Amino acid sequence: MSSKIPGNLIIGQSGGATAVINASLVGAVEAAFADQRIGGIYGMLHGIEGLLKEELIDLRQQPVDVWQQLLHTPSAALGSCRYKLHDHDLERTIEILRRYDIRSMLYIGGNDSADTAHCLAEAAEQIGYDLSILSIPKTIDNDLPFTDHCPGYGSAARFIAQATQDSALNTISIPWHYPVKIIETMGRDAGWLTASSALGKRDESDPPHILLLPEQPFIANRFLTQVEEVYKKLGYVIVVAAETIRDDKGQTLGSVGQVGVDAFQHPLLSGTAQYLVDLVKRELKLRARFDKPGDLQRMSSAHISITDRDEAYLVGKMGVHALLDGESDKMVTLIRHDEPTYHCITGLAELDKVANVQRLLPDRYLNQDKTMVTSAFYDYALPLIGGPLIQHTRLEMTRVRQ
Question: Which residues are annotated as catalytic?
Answer: 141
Rounded to whole angstroms, how far apart are CA atoms 369 and 148? Answer: 25
**Would strands 41-44 and 288-291 be described as parallel, antiparallel, or unpaired?**
unpaired
CA atoms within 13 A on the CB side of 179: 17
Burial grade of 110 (CB within 10 A; 0-12, 13-18, 19 or more): buried
Q: Which of 188, 187, 137 is nearest to 157 (CA)?
A: 187
Angle at 144 between CA 323 and CA 292, to 5 degrees: 125
Residue 12: phi and psi, rounded to 5, are -135, 160
E strands, 205-295, are: 210-212, 237-242, 288-291
331 touches 351 (CB < 8 A): yes
Rounded to whole angstroms, how far apart are CA atoms 99 and 239? Answer: 54
Angle at 276 between CA 275 and CA 280, to 5 degrees: 120
- Which H, E and C letters describe 79-120, residue by residue? CCCCCCCCHHHHHHHHHHHHHCCEEEEEEEECHHHHHHHHHH
Contact partners, residue 241, CB within 8 Å, separation at least 6? 182, 183, 184, 185, 194, 211, 212, 272, 273, 276
